[in-house]
């Protein structure tokens, strides 16, 4: 899907994942919902995979909307 600059963005719950994904789609930003990789544990089993640039935008979007997003750079 993306080059080596892809990042994983973790959220607290699936509702936040869906809301963030919808925001990306509405703004024509590249995003893919994927299962949280095994090394990372969250209450929510899903996360977003995207580019570094979109992850930065998602982080700001989450903060502005009372959500907590955690970026995991250099995901392979």
| Residue that has been written with the tokens 């994927």 in this structure | 34
pLDDT at 50 over 90: yes
Question: Is residue 15 a part of any domain in this protein?
Answer: yes
Question: Is residue 1 a part of any domain in this protein?
Answer: no
Instruction: Tell me the average pLDDT across 50-70.
Output: 95
Domain that holds residue 47: 6-72
Instruction: Tell me the average pLDDT across 55-73.
Output: 94
Question: Is residue 20 a part of any domain in this protein?
Answer: yes
User: Is the model more confident about 5 or about 9?
Assistant: 9
* Helix, strand, or coil (residue 59): helix
**Pairing outcome for strands 46-51 and 6-11:** antiparallel
Task: Please state, in angstroms and as integers, the Cα–Cα distance from residue 68 to each residue in 59, 62, 75, 76, following that order.
Answer: 8, 6, 19, 23
Q: Which residues on neighbouring strands pair with residue 48, listed in sequence order?
A: 9, 33
Give the CATH number for residue 65. Answer: 3.30.70
Q: Which runs of E-coded beta strand occur in 12-68?
A: 31-35, 46-51
Mean pLDDT, all residues of the chain: 88
Share of the chain above pLDDT 90, in %: 71
pLDDT in tens, 7-41: 999 999 999 999 999 999 999 999 999 998 877 76
Q: How many domains does the chain have?
A: 1
């Amino acid at each position: 899907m993306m080059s080596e600059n892809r990042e994983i963005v973790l959220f607290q719950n699936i509702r936040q994942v869906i809301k963030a994904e919808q925001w990306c789609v509405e703004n024509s930003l590249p995003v893919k919902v994927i299962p949280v990789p095994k090394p990372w544990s969250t209450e929510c089993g899903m996360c977003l995979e995207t580019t570094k640039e979109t992850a930065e935008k998602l982080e700001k979007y989450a903060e502005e909307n009372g959500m907590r997003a955690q970026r995991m750079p250099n995901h392979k």
